[in-house]
A and B are shown apart, each in its own frame.
Chain A
Amino acid sequence: MIERPAGAPDDVIVAEGRGSDVVCFPRPDQYVDLVRAWREDGFEVCVDLCAVDYLEHAGRWLPEGVKPTRFEVVVNLLSMSRRQRVRVRVQAGDEAPEVASLFSLYPGTEAMEREAFDLLGVVFTGHPDLTRILMPEDWEGHPLRKDYSVGRVPVQFKEAPGPR
């Protein structure tokens, strides 16, 4: 049995990942409370935040009780005092993925959440400046989604000289 932090919501599902990692599967409404509980438990740094589009791999393994959705947001927390990592995987939704922003807990997630929004279209409510970060502002679509195919946009160099 893997211990949960003290203030965590009671029915969060916790599983053991590869190595010594702990993986938690909160519902979207438990997500921020759980991350806050981990933070108060000594996880000082939010190392990484990314999103995954499971459109073509819907049958992935998940512990019992977790309802899979197309999008998943994955957060990696690190405790320097305990030298331990925790991964939080939250099911973000199918059509319009949306989770709460971690900005007020870990300001360092600001750029990472913008990246997840830009490339996968996950909306982080409460984020102070949710704009595109890597793609141009007027870009249509979210390139890392699985239904966004490679080579969709023809490469056209402006005023390129013709063949010689």
Chain B
Amino acid sequence: MSDPTVRVAERPDLLTAETSEGAQELQQRRDTAGSELGREVGSVVRLEGHAFDPSDVDVERRDDETMILNMGPSHPSTHGVLRIMIELDGEFILRAKPVIGYLHTGMEKTGEQLSYVQGGVNVTRMDYLSPVINELSFAMAVEALLDLEVPARAVWIRMMMAELNRMASHLVWMATNGMDVGSTTMMIFGFRERELILAFFEKTAGLRMNLNYVRPGGVAADLPDGWQDDVEVICDTVEERSYEYDQLLTGQPIFRERMVGVAPLTAEEALALSVTGPLLRSTGVAWDLRRTMPYLAYDEVDFDVIVGTYGDNFDRYAVRLNEIRESVRIVRQCLERMPAGDYRTQDPKVTPPPRARIGESMEALIHHFKLFTEGFRVPAGEVYSAVESPRGELGCYLVSDGGPKPYRLHVRGPSFVNLQAIPLLMRGGSMSDAITVISTVDPIMGEVDR
């Protein structure tokens, strides 16, 4: 009587067949070996000095006492398409496992089909909240292979845009984190201030997001006339308002209840899990590539590396809020010390001729055409270049075979690696803390899945 192909409750295999991720999902206890449980509660327990205690994992608990809850991939608090499977005992989390790949678009493969000129368009879409920094990491890798020197003005423009982008990214974090803990006011505030920065990006590069502004050899366009006034307004506004956020959130009892002492991470655990960025600095490790392995002109500007103490949610909040202020400091110094000169290298190999020349010179037209159809060739070799993105170390491993396209483009996305801390941070906490954990780890799914 019943059609065997119709999906009904009596046929759970049909219900899940089209959505199941198989072994990638969180397995039931009866199917799970103790070693896998050990991994899921955080592989850190295997480290030397961290004795692995099997009883800590609580393998004896029976299935019918616990519940596996699926959260996401479409859930408002997962910041995109993150899916987390959680095993719950009442309201408390025993195990958690992130299941990713829902935004996988094969950008590393796409990067192998695009020339170095086009590559920026691809990488800028990975971490869509910090496009400038993505382009920067790619452009610096290409320049390292080319042995190309970038003019001073381009370096300072890059630095200023990267810091403005860091402010915008952290403001979105403040906004979404505010919303996750119930403060819609912070949500409005964060996006309001970010809008100032995006408007300046639009004025400079023509687009609000995914700018393709930083290119191998320099930047796409010089800063617009009167940029000093715009940047001045952004700096003043963001700095002043950052103290308003302080008043709104930092001492707020409900906010503190959700943040202080929740989901702490130790420095050893963070290092073992290769975690970088604000997540690592909140544990007290003063590791910021801008300071410790300076690139661009970060060794010439004055700023502080913000570190926390306990590595809990509140420290991660405090690190990000203060990093906004440090970015304002760096942008102010860029404003004062912006050198004059070229905004891109004059090497004709990577830089097209100016628009005015194309109209009058046949050679310039051919040159321009060749550069944008065929691209430029990059000497064979491999290089790893890393920059500090708002979420941690953004690395670009580039292999060239001497042709006009990358042979292999691998991007080390900080969110992808930081996501490994989630099972550890969620463990033992309540369901409501899980929301703040996702929020303070700050994964950007475009970068996680690439």
Q: Quick check: B273 and A107 within 8 Å, CB to CB?
A: yes
CB closest residue in chain B, given A114: B24
User: CB-CB contacts of A15-51 with B at 8 A, as 1s and 0s?
Assistant: 0011101000000000000000000000011111010
CB distance from B202 to the nearest CB of A (A): 32
Partner of B380, one of A46, A60, A132: A60
Bound state CA distance, A45 and B268, in angstroms? 10
User: A128 and B20 in contact (CB under 8 A), knowing A48-B397, A107-B46?
Assistant: no
Using CB atoms, name the residue of chain A closest to B22. A137
* Number of A-B residue pairs at CB separation under 8 A: 128
Stretch at the interface among B101-109, B249-257, B330-338, B343-351: B101-109
| Chain A residue contacts of B449, Cβ below 8 A | 134
**Cβ contacts under 8 Å, B39 to chain A:** 110, 128-129
Q: Which of A50, A135, A150 has the most CB of B within 10 A?
A: A50
Does B417 contact A112, Cβ atoms closer than 8 Å?
yes
Interface string of A100-111 (1 = CB under 8 A from B): 000110111111
Task: Please classify the interface of chain A as helix (H, G, I), strand (E, B), loop, or mixed, using the class held by over half of its residues.
Answer: loop
Q: Assess A143 versus B274: contact at CB under 8 Å? Given A60-B401, A112-B417.
A: no
Chain A residues with CB below 8 A from B416, complex form? 111, 115
- Is B271 part of the contact surface with A, judged by Cβ < 8 Å? yes
Of the candidates B395, B407, B420, which one forms a contact with A76 in the assembled complex, judged by CB atoms under 8 Å apart?
Answer: B395
- Selected contact of A46 from candidates B20, B101, B108, B274, CB within 8 Å: B274
| Interface membership of B285, Cβ < 8 A | yes
A74 CB contacts on chain B under 8 angstroms: 382, 397, 410
Cross-chain contact of B407 among A57, A111, A112, A143 (Cβ < 8 A): A57
Contacts of B275 in A (CB 8 A): 108
Q: Is A67 an interface residue (CB 8 A)?
A: no
Is B293 close to A, CB under 8 A?
Answer: yes
Min C-beta distance of A108 to chain B, whole Å: 3
Q: How large is the interface on B (under 10, 10 to 19, 20 to 34, 35 or more residues)?
A: 35 or more
Q: What is the CB-to-nearest-CB distance from B142 to chain A, in angstroms, rounded to a whole number? A: 12
Q: In B275-296, which residues have CB < 8 Å from any A CB?
A: 275-276, 285, 287, 292-293
Nearest chain A CB to B33 CB, angstrom units: 9
Compute how far the CA of A133 lies from the CA of B103 in the bound complex, rounded to whole angstroms. 12
Residue total for A at the interface (Cβ-Cβ under 8 A): 46
Instruction: Assess the B274–A45 pair: CB atoms within 8 A.
Output: yes
Could you tell me the distance in whole angstroms from the C-beta of B2 to the nearest C-beta in chain A? 22
**A104 vs B275: C-alpha distance when bound (angstroms):** 17
B280 nearest in chain A by CB position: A45
Whether the pair B101, A134 counts as a contact (CB closer than 8 A) is: yes
B95: min CB distance to chain A, Å? 13
Contact: A136 with B101, CB < 8 Å? yes
Q: Which residue of B42, B292, B401 contacts A80 across the interface (Cβ within 8 Å)?
A: B292
How far is A104 from B46 in the complex, measured between Cα atoms in Å?
7
Chain A's closest residue to B42 (CB) is A107
CA A29 to CA B42, docked complex, whole Å = 28
A105 to chain B, nearest CB (A): 9
How far is B274's CA from A111's CA once the two chains are assembled, in angstroms?
Answer: 11
Docked Cα-Cα span, A46 to B397, in Å, equals 14
Q: Is B5 an interface residue (CB 8 A)?
A: no
Task: Decide yes or no whether A164 CB sits under 8 A from chain B.
Answer: no
In the complex, whether B298 has a CB less than 8 A from a CB of chain A is: no
Contact A137 B100 (CB under 8 A): no
Q: Is A119 on the interface with B (CB-CB < 8 A)?
A: yes
User: Judging by beta carbons under 8 Å apart, are B47 and A18 in contact?
Assistant: no
Q: B43 touching A107 by the CB < 8 A rule?
A: yes
Q: How far is the CA of A18 from the CA of B396 in the complex (A)?
A: 14
**7 nearest A-B residue pairs (beta carbon):** A108-B274, A107-B43, A137-B22, A134-B101, A57-B401, A48-B412, A108-B273
Q: List 6 A-B contacts (CB under 8 A).
A: A18-B381, A47-B274, A48-B384, A57-B401, A112-B274, A129-B23
Query: Which residues of chain B have a CB within 8 Å of any CB of chain A?
Result: 20-24, 35-36, 38-39, 42-44, 46-47, 100-101, 104, 106, 108-110, 113, 144-145, 271-276, 285, 287, 292-293, 380-384, 386, 393, 395, 397, 399, 401, 407-408, 410, 412, 416-417, 419-420, 449-450
Taking A47-B395, A110-B43, A129-B39 as known contacts, 14 extra A-B pairs with beta carbons closer than 8 A to each other, sorted by chain A number, are A45-B276, A50-B412, A61-B381, A83-B292, A103-B46, A104-B46, A106-B274, A107-B43, A107-B44, A107-B272, A110-B420, A115-B416, A131-B23, A133-B24
